[in-house]
């Protein structure tokens, strides 16, 4: 079971009360992965929200001809250090509830907290204060990722367009 101390240290749960954290704790499971191990594959059902608590995870497109994922296929990196990058797998909240990318452990080892989409949705519907706090954070994450994507497009195009966006 994920400790309350671990949950308290995660940015997504910073606004939750002790009682709310206990409710979240009941939904959590933890897993560890080794370097190059795949956490999930593009196209699989999106059943969990994922939070990195140790190490680094890359989200990648998997090219059919590539024998091994490369840095060129990495879309974003997630680690426990940067609050904006701890949470991933938010495809679990968006129909058709399929993973859009594949996730790989890229550090020696990584640890993640997984929260069931169904259980989390049920909790957020029954306790709207928790739902509001978590969705407020998730909107910040989506906004941050959108900005990252814009920056990457600008770099790729080789045009200094950032100030016009």
pTM: 0.81
Q: Which tokens in the block code for residue 124?
A: 């957020």
51, 11 in Cβ contact below 8 A?
no
Residue 152 to residue 72: CA distance in whole angstroms: 12
Residue 33 to residue 110: CA distance in whole angstroms: 5
Instruction: Say yes or no to pLDDT of 120 above 80.
Output: yes
> How does residue 123 score in pLDDT terms, banded at 50, 70 and 90?
very high
What domains, with CATH codes, occur in the chain?
Answer: 4-164 (2.60.120.10)
Residue 35 to residue 107: CA distance in whole angstroms: 5
> What pLDDT was estimated at residue 165?
57
């Amino acid at each position: 079971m994920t400790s309350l101390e671990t949950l308290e240290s995660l940015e997504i749960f910073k606004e939750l009360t002790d009682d709310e954290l206990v409710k979240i704790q009941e939904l959590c499971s933890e897993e560890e992965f080794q370097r190059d191990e795949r956490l999930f594959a593009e196209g699989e059902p999106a059943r969990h929200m994922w939070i990195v608590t140790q190490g680094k995870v890359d989200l990648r497109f998997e090219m059919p001809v590539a024998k091994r994922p490369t840095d060129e296929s990495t879309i974003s990196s997630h680690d426990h250090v940067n609050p904006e990058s701890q949470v991933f797998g938010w495809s679990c909240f968006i129909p058709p509830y399929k993973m859009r990318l594949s996730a790989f452990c890229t550090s020696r080892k990584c640890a993640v907290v997984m929260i069931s989409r169904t259980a989390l949705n049920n909790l957020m519907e029954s306790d709207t204060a928790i739902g509001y706090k978590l969705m407020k954070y998730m909107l910040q994450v989506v906004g941050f990722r959108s900005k990252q994507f814009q920056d990457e497009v600008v770099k790729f195009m080789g045009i200094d367009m950032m100030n016009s966006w």
